[in-house]
Amino acid sequence: MIEKEIEKRQTLTEKQNFLCAVCGKPLGFYSQLAHILGNTKLNRKISIRLVGKDYIDSIYNAKMVCSLECNKKVDIGKLNEIKIKEHLECIEKLERL
């Protein structure tokens, strides 16, 4: 894992008070980074097409979760493009702060 990725995980874990973003259980050894809009080539293309930039790796597109079950609940990839675009536009605004 690269240093930037470790830093992102630490920042999110602290921001979430060491609790799972979905169920609220304490994050443990098996906690994982869950992308809200999944880390796939297709989603990267969709991000660029909808808002002109790839925001998949943004800290605002991720949550720390305690399990694969909670990870699945974070994913919005199956929503319609309007909801995905709203999410990406929100990230775009936060990135500018």
CB 26 within 8 A of CB 55: no
Q: pTM for the full model?
A: 0.84
Q: What is the helix (H) or strand (E) element at residue 33, kind and residue range?
A: strand 32-35
Question: Is residue 79 predicted with pLDDT exceeding 90?
Answer: no
Question: Is residue 62 predicted with pLDDT exceeding 70?
Answer: yes
Q: Is 17 left (phi over 0), alpha (psi -120 to 50) or beta?
A: left
Rounded CA-CA distance 74/39 in Å is 12
- Average of per-residue pLDDT across 90-95: 92
- Average of per-residue pLDDT across 10-37: 95
Q: What is the helix (H) or strand (E) element at residue 65, kind and residue range?
A: strand 62-65
Q: Which amino acid is at 75?
A: D
